[in-house]
Amino acid sequence: MIALLQRVSEAKVVVAGECIGQINKGILLLLGVEQSDDEAKARRLCERVLNYRIFADEQGKMNLNLLQTGGQLLVVSQFTLVADTDKGNRPSFSRAGNPQESEVLYEYFVSQARKAGVHCQTGRFAADMQVSLTNDGPVTFQLKV
């Protein structure tokens, strides 16, 4: 499971002209699910995302996490994160989880974030989405489990 975290001052996801998820200060999380992923990995990645210290403290150092700042989370599925790009000019998606199982793990990840008390919005799994954001910093990290 791969997460691309972007610290944002705002972000939103639009499907067919309709805004279906929007946040202010927090994290835009692009989430890729691999074939070998399971609920334990999703739970561990969610813990890492919520506790990853990427927000500034009073001294301007990245010492605070999403939970400490009361920030919001926008989770968007993105299978292209798990692409194999080592050879050729076309990505291979052979490591990507099958859509049905991946959607279950995506929803499980979101439920774990909400269970932790985070204001969490989502995109729409497997939809053609337009995602816009204002990356704060810019600050972007990739986490894997």
Active site residues: 78-80
User: What is the C-alpha to C-alpha distance for residues 139 and 23, in angstroms, rounded to an integer?
Assistant: 16
CA separation for the pair 145, 139 (Å, rounded): 20
Question: Are 114 and 52 contacting, i.e. CB atoms less than 8 angstroms apart?
Answer: no
